[in-house]
Amino acid sequence: VPPAKPRLRATPRLRPLGPHSRTERAVLKAAADLLVAKGAAAVTIEKIAARAKVAKTTVYRWWPSKIAIFMDVFEQLAPKRLIRFPDQGSLEADLRHVLRGLLRLLRTTAAGSALAGMITEAQLDPQAAASFREAFIARGRVLGRRAFDRAKRRGELPAGFDAEVAIDMLSGAIWYRLLLGHAPLDDSYADSIVRVVAAGIRSAPESGARARLALGSSS
Amino acid sequence: VPPAKPRLRATPRLRPLGPHSRTERAVLKAAADLLVAKGAAAVTIEKIAARAKVAKTTVYRWWPSKIAIFMDVFEQLAPKRLIRFPDQGSLEADLRHVLRGLLRLLRTTAAGSALAGMITEAQLDPQAAASFREAFIARGRVLGRRAFDRAKRRGELPAGFDAEVAIDMLSGAIWYRLLLGHAPLDDSYADSIVRVVAAGIRSAPESGARARLALGSSS
Amino acid sequence: VPPAKPRLRATPRLRPLGPHSRTERAVLKAAADLLVAKGAAAVTIEKIAARAKVAKTTVYRWWPSKIAIFMDVFEQLAPKRLIRFPDQGSLEADLRHVLRGLLRLLRTTAAGSALAGMITEAQLDPQAAASFREAFIARGRVLGRRAFDRAKRRGELPAGFDAEVAIDMLSGAIWYRLLLGHAPLDDSYADSIVRVVAAGIRSAPESGARARLALGSSS
Amino acid sequence: VPPAKPRLRATPRLRPLGPHSRTERAVLKAAADLLVAKGAAAVTIEKIAARAKVAKTTVYRWWPSKIAIFMDVFEQLAPKRLIRFPDQGSLEADLRHVLRGLLRLLRTTAAGSALAGMITEAQLDPQAAASFREAFIARGRVLGRRAFDRAKRRGELPAGFDAEVAIDMLSGAIWYRLLLGHAPLDDSYADSIVRVVAAGIRSAPESGARARLALGSSS
DNA sequence: CAATAAACGAGACGGTACGTCCCGTCTTCAG
DNA sequence: CTGAAGACGGGACGTACCGTCTCGTTTATTG
């Protein structure tokens, strides 16, 4: 009786060993442990493999880069309610809710080091950088856009408002403290950056046209 | 009675040892060239030394880390007028002026790659990270504080306003695009992030007390 | 028609991994070549690796020190008949046979430079010196003891004779000329030092007791 | 008007320049100290200069190689009576006297490490090796020949006896233990090797002609 | 007693080799 | 036939000394 099917597929990807295999779990566990114990800088594929008691080749077989491992670590740690967050009644409340949750995740789990590791690694390997942008950043920004879409439906946004720069600013503020480490990623920081962005949007009613022009250049 | 004569010599002064020597210039030139040609990831101390036609040990003699080289490259490229910028009449104008100049610098010279390289390297080496924060970041933030100090004197800021989070946001927005590369660091981006921050500050008159509390934890 | 061929290759069997591999042979060949061409002083691990067309890390993977490489080079060159030499009828004849063979080996192959290299390197690295003494010297002295054991069975040795000093003298005489290079390691030298040692042993019949005391401190 | 030279100084400073200066003494002291403290392997010219509080250039000005320094250290330590030793009545007594004194010197002072350092360094630098052979070894062998010359006058030696191999054997036995360090260079070792060589010479009366032929190729 | 020349300290410099870490690929062999 | 194990070529790291050099400062001798 063959319990493990060969998993022949037309399209590649997906784990032939089946999802949540021992190998996958061991590798992600090892990576997460190393991230919290030593920080992103000390995480190498060799150490992950050694700690997971898995051959280095096995790691390379399933993950094309360190970034891919970090993305999986992050995903495992992110609670579902963060992604599908409930409507909080206003743009500012929505953003505050999401950012508080995100910062708590970065602060209290391996997710912070994992994200820092992704950013660092993306600087070193253009190939990996592309997958990082497409598979991780893009999906994260969708989360932010959801809040702005709700606000638009509520009529909170000036006409022609482009959310991209706002998302850049919120993300950037987080990255900055995450990478620099000079100040904590706590709730008050989330509240502060959300307040500035929300107020900045509200208080520019007649600048909508200018904003559209100015923001139009962003991706 | 002058006992120390001016010491006329046959060889007029081929190279002064120590700082500002031929060596220092050659190394910084080589590093800048490599940064623009290949990007920060491809810059290694060995390649810098080779391109500068200098022994690797000489590089290590003068710079303790790659970050230190990048900081010197950056400093060499930054025009003085960026540092001592003239008063533009308002907070928003001041910030816009500084950020436009900074983004132009990052966009058009090796300074952008140098900064990206510093951030990346700081993730890999805690020792270097410290010198980065203290010798580079700290000095850069002083630049931003100057604009907010002027604004305070003009009465543009609510009572108890803390500039640190605002600086985090502006810096972060720049880092984010610099590291991610998904959108350009152009003038319109500078204008947009400045507008949001400036408007966000203006439109929170009664939130001064709250802001002080919230922002008090930063720095 | 089988779509998956059995992997027909141009070079049918490139290298078996592990010991006796292409790598091992190439490294030892390169080391031996460098020893005869330039002498022990010019042999560096980097040059060995370069000449063997092998990565430096591969050399370090298999040999912990330069001494270890030299020992393997020596062993490869030493003919088996030198180790398991036949009984020549008398102590003097046995010793003469072994030493002539040994000196020929040192004189005509890379073994001489290899031994000189081992001695030199042992002075520079205590760790390596230990392995040299235990893995190389100890085994070499066993060879000498074999001759003295036979002599003892023949009754050629005075009671209580200790072979260690005799072995020190024979070995030392060889090392001296090997390292100093002021005179050849030829057959007549082998004969001379053997004659002196053998005669010295024979002609001290009543000094057995004294010899035992005197020699007791050695080894 | 100073009729006599001032010459009164805090530090007497007899001969600041040239040989026997403060510099020379400081360098040799530093070298000797390092030799006993860390062994020959740890002695580098940089460390000697640092410990002597002397510029590296100054060391290079007066000594062409590390061997030259070691030779001077050795010479400073060797007592004159060792060189001009009194007649002890027989070859064996003469040799025993010299070797005991030499081994004591090697055992109890920096001279042992210095000699080991010379031998090692001579393997690495052919230029230095030549000066070592000519300025150090040659002079040392003269010492041995003095003992054999006296024996010849006493009629202790067979006709045509060549002392060179005997000297090689005695020197070699010492070098061997010095370099290998597996057994002590104590008086009993001196006695043992002297006894073997002396007895070996005595007991070969009719082998004089053969010995001359055999030994003729040496030196 | 000034000028000269040497020794000197200080240390920058180009260079070689070291031994280590990690990369990503490739080979072998056991299940 | 596929996987785990790990050998492999390779690049870069940061360090230790090498021996040479330049430079400016004493120090001793000499003109």
Min distance D78 CA to chain C CA atoms (Å): 21
Confidence of residue B202 (pLDDT cuts 50, 70, 90): confident
Helix (H) or strand (E) holding B61: helix B56-62
Q: Which two tokens stand for residue D122?
A: 């001579």
pLDDT over 70 (residue D217): no
> In a structure prediction context, what are the per-residue pLDDT tens digits for chain C, which is 219 residues long?
233 222 323 233 334 445 568 889 999 999 999 999 999 999 999 999 999 999 999 999 999 999 999 999 999 999 888 888 888 889 999 999 999 999 999 999 999 999 999 999 999 999 999 999 999 999 999 988 989 999 999 999 888 788 999 999 999 999 999 999 999 999 999 999 999 999 888 876 444 444 444 443 443
Q: Which of D120, D88, D116 is nearest to D101 (CA)?
A: D88
* Residues in contact with B132: Cβ distance below 8 Å, sequence separation at least 6, in sequence order: B67, B71, B118, B121, B122
Distance of CA D119 to the CA centre of its chain: 11
Among the residue ranges A125-134, B23-32, B158-167, D162-171, the one predicted with the least confidence is B158-167
CB contact C142 to D (< 8 Å): no
Tokens 């030299």 belong to residue:
C70
Min distance C56 CA to chain D CA atoms (Å): 22
pLDDT over 60 (residue B205): no
Give A9-28 pLDDT, tens digit per residue.
223 344 445 556 778 888 99
C-alpha to C-alpha distances, A47 to A72, A115, C63, D88, nearest whole angstrom = 17, 18, 24, 71
Give D70-96 pLDDT, tens digit per residue.
999 999 999 888 888 889 999 999 999
Summarize chain D as % helix, strand, coil (round to 5): 70, 0, 30
The reply to whether C21 Cβ lies less than 7 angstroms from strand F is: yes
Q: What residue is closest to E10 (Cα–C1')?
A: D55
- B195, A195: Cβ pair inside 8 Å? no
Distance, CA of C34 to CA of C32 (rounded, Å): 5
Give C55-113 pLDDT, tens digit per residue.
999 999 999 999 999 999 999 999 888 888 888 889 999 999 999 999 999 999 999 99
Torsion sign over Cα B180, A144, A174, A86: negative
Distance, CA of C212 to CA of C216 (rounded, Å): 6
Confidence of residue D143 (pLDDT cuts 50, 70, 90): confident
Give D90-140 pLDDT, tens digit per residue.
999 999 999 999 999 999 999 999 999 999 999 999 999 999 999 999 999
Distance, CA of A32 to CA of A73 (rounded, Å): 6
Give B57-109 pLDDT, tens digit per residue.
999 999 999 999 999 999 999 888 888 888 888 999 999 999 999 999 999 99
- C218, D192: Cβ pair inside 8 Å? yes
**Phi-psi category of residue D34: left, alpha or beta, with phi > 0 → left and psi -120 to 50 → alpha:** alpha
For residue B39, the model assigns a pLDDT of 94
Q: Which two tokens stand for residue B189?
A: 């981006």
C-alpha to C-alpha distances, B45 to A3, A42, B40, B67, D85, nearest whole angstrom = 53, 21, 11, 11, 61
For residue B19, the model assigns a pLDDT of 53
Distance of CA D56 to the CA centre of its chain: 26
Rg over alpha carbons for chain B, rounded to the nearest Å, is: 21
The reply to whether B9 Cβ lies less than 7 angstroms from strand F is: yes
Q: What residue is closest to F7 (Cα–C1')?
A: C17
CA of B53 to C1' of F25 (A): 32
Can you give the length of chain C in residues?
219
Residues in chain B with CB shorter than 8 Å from the CB of A191 are: 214
Instruction: Please name the residues between 175 and 214 in chain C that touch chain D, using a CB distance below 8 Å.
Output: 175-177, 179-184, 186, 188-189, 191-193, 195-204, 207, 211, 213-214
